Amino acid sequence: MDLLFRIAQEVQKETKVRVHRRNVEKVLSAVLTTGDFWKIIDLSDIPVPAAAEIVRRLISEGVLFIDDSENILLTQKGYDLVSELGIASIVDHSCRACEGRGYPFYSDKDLYRTFVEIARERPSPIRDYDQGAVTPETTIARVLFMDSRGDLRNKEIMVMGAEDDLTGLAVALTRKAKRVLVIDIDERLIDFDNRVFRELGIDNAEAMVWDLRNPFPEEMIGKFDVFITDPPETFAAFRAFIGRGIATLKEEGCAGYFGLTLRDSSIFRWKEFQETLLNEYGVVITDIIQDFNHYMNWEYHPETKAARIAPVKREPKEIWYRSAWYRIETLPGFKRWNEPISDEVFYLDEEGSTT
């Protein structure tokens, strides 16, 4: 049996994360590019538990080893294997200026500078709510992307469960939206936004505490043109964040934005998420920009499952956690979803590990 195929089967059995032979090949390509485990995950685009187990299996097969500096390297057997299979290192031709997004944050320098100055005082991410903030460049690029799609000016915008990134604040700072409502479970972030709105005289924006496991009241259903969110990647969380977001939209032609990673969910789960969007909710995916969202390393990383199962103890030093940015649009006959969530597995499951 082909070694890579066998390893994929063993990893899937051990971790319950669905993987295939090409995932193992991608890990080897990543090792040819970097010895840093966290960057290997970044380049491999598979959930952390699967990447960690693939590395362990390749070590046990004598293909990889870990040196004294905790770099993951190919053995001579490994070099022979990648040569035999024609596996090459990963090449990145994405635009450095816009960090691969296509929407450079510096297109609105005033907005960027104002946001960076205000964001210095934001509350730190905490583990209880699966928080991890994106870079300021990411947040501003999100707003510019929305503006380019006609989803900002004179629009009523709901930002839900994603204010650790301060996306709602950034939208409000443009003063181009008709109305901005920010909801989040974290009272610290809500208080921060409301204080900034008051200080800057932004009277068309407000923030309120809300747990997305609870249904929205009737006055929030069908009242917005756009929603923005950044969900945990369990099915319960996907329904709570995306299903409820769609429920807030007014009519066909309205838009939703959200991020999905390949660090906490597999490509197989993406398929299931996408099928839910298309077949159950009646929306279409108009855009998927891979690696749009760049997350700053969070202080509670040593407490996470990801840190515990990693084959190395060295913490991430560079950005390694990224997600794709999705845009969806409602079609005629789209379905709103606003049921209570009773599933206890809200933030973490077999594919997730960063909470």
Task: Tell me the percentage of the chain whose pLDDT exceeds 90.
Answer: 79
CB 121 within 8 A of CB 192: yes
pLDDT band at 163 (very low <50, low <70, confident <90, very high): confident
pLDDT band at 257 (very low <50, low <70, confident <90, very high): very high
pLDDT of residue 339: 87
Which residues are within 8 A (CB) of 338 and not within 5 positions of it... i.e. 6 or more apart? 215, 216, 221, 243, 244, 247
Residue 244 has pLDDT above 60, yes or no: yes
CB 211 within 8 A of CB 188: no
pLDDT band at 348 (very low <50, low <70, confident <90, very high): low
Q: Give 178's Cβ-side CA count (13 Å radius).
A: 10
Distance separating alpha carbons of residues 209 and 354, to the nearest angstrom: 24
Q: What is the pLDDT of the chain when averaged over all its residues?
A: 92
Residue 303 has pLDDT above 90, yes or no: no
Return phi, psi of residue 327, to 5°.
-120, 130
Task: Tell me the percentage of the chain whose pLDDT exceeds 70.
Answer: 95
pLDDT of residue 347: 58
Distance separating alpha carbons of residues 331 and 85, to the nearest angstrom: 45
pLDDT of residue 263: 92
Distance separating alpha carbons of residues 354 and 322, to the nearest angstrom: 12
pLDDT (average), residues 325-347: 85
110-114, 232-236, 315-319: which is most confident? 110-114
pLDDT of residue 185: 87
* SS3 label, residue 208: strand
The mean-pLDDT minimum among 156-170, 299-313, 320-334 falls in 299-313
Distance separating alpha carbons of residues 255 and 281, to the nearest angstrom: 13
Residue 274 has pLDDT above 90, yes or no: yes
pLDDT (average), residues 327-332: 98
* SS3 label, residue 291: strand
pLDDT (average), residues 23-30: 97
Residue 351 has pLDDT above 90, yes or no: no
Q: Please, what sign has the CA dihedral across residues 78, 19, 5, 11?
A: positive
pLDDT (average), residues 78-96: 95
Strand partners, 326: 258, 288
pLDDT (average), residues 53-70: 96
Element (H, E) at 287: strand 283-294
pLDDT of residue 132: 72
Kindly report the pTM of this predicted structure.
Answer: 0.93
pLDDT of residue 300: 76
CB 255 within 8 A of CB 285: no
pLDDT (average), residues 304-323: 91
pLDDT (average), residues 161-182: 93
Residue 346 has pLDDT above 70, yes or no: no
Residue 343 has pLDDT above 60, yes or no: no
The mean-pLDDT minimum among 16-30, 46-60, 223-237 falls in 223-237
In tens, the pLDDT along 180-238 reads: 999 998 899 999 999 999 999 999 999 999 988 889 999 999 999 999 998 888 888 88
pLDDT of residue 225: 98
pLDDT of residue 196: 96
Residue spans of alpha helices (H) in the chain: 3-15, 21-33, 37-44, 48-60, 76-85, 109-119, 136-148, 167-174, 187-200, 235-238, 244-247, 267-275, 305-309
Angle, alpha carbons 104-110-113 (nearest 5°): 85
Q: What is the CA radius of gyration of the chain?
A: 21
pLDDT band at 1 (very low <50, low <70, confident <90, very high): low
Domains and CATH numbers, the chain: 3-85 (1.10.10.10), 105-330 (3.40.50.150)
